[in-house]
Chains A and B, each alone.
Chain A
């Protein structure tokens, strides 16, 4: 779910950055977690994607208990490497899995707000069509001729789906990502196994390691 926050003190962020959230119980007990910012940079507001983890300590509170008008302690924005602005150049290859799409969404939304012409491809892995986060907005963004959104559905799909139906692999990346000689900058975000596989595959098809940036989060991998 999307958590929309507003604060006069919030300075805005660079696409790709995250924020630390701290919760304090009445007896002073505290818990902290980090969440990527999904919105385009804007002073005064930010959107977070909260993936609810079944027996989590913090995500159920943020998903189910929090009400409009409640306040949260934030620290940020945090992060100086997994960021993209137009000055970084492109073309862009964004590869995400599940809620890992959050920082990539910030990049695509930012790209739209500044009217950038830098080509961007999003390869997005979800379990099923219904579980694609930001699905409609991604459809709208892909009406820009320089933006391609390619989905792969790994767990279930309808008969009429004629897109990818497997985990992202080197062959898919080669089909989708074209030639790395074009100078593509790759950002990969999602669960650890996806990020590990995709980053290795990109290197194996010729991406210089320094052109592949990774961010791993979500429920911790083994």
Chain B
């Protein structure tokens, strides 16, 4: 994106390796850390009280306790992730249950999803962006159980969108006929959030 504005004296630090550079979306920088961002305190739901639900415009509705959820087939996932606050992290390693697995046998006419979470956080996505191998409910990161700060015991993982869509402390998906802006989307962030089109804020 070369416009007319040049920052005098700014040289920056380019990614040397073109293979790596090609994996970093516009406006992002690579971080070796795993930053934590949140709007409020970290919720702590005991596993004995945890459940995950598929509800809304679905037939049938589904619900799993933690033990039932962990008995589902899961897989190892290695993906790049991109936060709207500009950091990107490559080759992150997760373990989780594919949304395809959770939706297996569920009929729906709905096209949109609201992910809902402990603490009241929500985010909205098209159903099409959660299926066909694009998303998981992840319970482990880097070979360890997912830490509460990072969304444990389980979070949504949707790596092709900005990471605020990978809702932490997720407790279920509500399938809906129309799109309803979630927490950050209602506060000015983009409804879709494609990092490659730099869709950070409403109107981008």
Contacts and interface: CB of A to CB of B under 8 A. Distances in A.
Contacts of B29: 31, 57
A221 B186 CA distance: 27
Contacts of B27: 22, 30-32
Contacts of A71: 5, 7-8
Contacts of A29: 12, 14
The contact size tier of chain A is: 35 or more
B22 interface: no
A73 B1 CA distance: 14
Interface residues of B, number: 40
Given A30-B27, A34-B85, A25 B39 contact: no
Interface in A175-190: none
A216 B10 contact: no
Interface string A131-143: 0000000000000
> SS class of chain B's interface: helix, strand, loop or mixed?
loop
Interface string A50-93: 00000001000100011000111100001111100000000000
B41 A220 contact: no
B31 interface: yes
A149 to B, nearest CB: 24
Contact of A196 (B6, B10, B149): B149
A33 interface: yes
Contacts of B188: 78-80
B71 interface: no
Contact of A214 (B12, B34, B38, B85): B38
A46 interface: no
B94 interface: no
Nearest to A201: B41
B35 A25 contact: no
B36 A70 contact: no
A78 B1 CA distance: 22
Contacts of B39: 81-82, 213-214
Contact of A24 (B6, B13, B41, B43): B6
A57 B42 contact: no
A220 B35 CA distance: 5
> SS class of chain A's interface: helix, strand, loop or mixed?
mixed
Interface string A16-48: 000000111110111111100000000000000
B18 interface: no
A30 B1 contact: yes
B35 A65 contact: no
A25 B85 contact: no
Nearest to B4: A24
A163 interface: no
Contact of A72 (B7, B36, B120): B7
B108 to A, nearest CB: 31
Interface in A78-128: 78-82
A3 to B, nearest CB: 13
B146 to A, nearest CB: 15
B9 interface: yes
B2 A216 contact: no
Interface of A: 22-26, 28-34, 57, 61, 65-66, 70-73, 78-82, 192, 196, 199-200, 202-203, 209-210, 212-214, 216-217, 220-222
Interface of B: 1-3, 5-14, 26-29, 31, 33-43, 85-87, 119-120, 149, 183, 186-188, 201
27 contacts: A22-B27, A24-B6, A24-B7, A25-B7, A29-B12, A30-B26, A31-B12, A31-B13, A32-B27, A32-B86, A61-B7, A61-B9, A70-B7, A70-B8, A78-B188, A78-B201, A81-B187, A82-B39, A192-B35, A192-B149, A196-B42, A199-B40, A199-B42, A203-B41, A213-B39, A216-B37, A217-B85
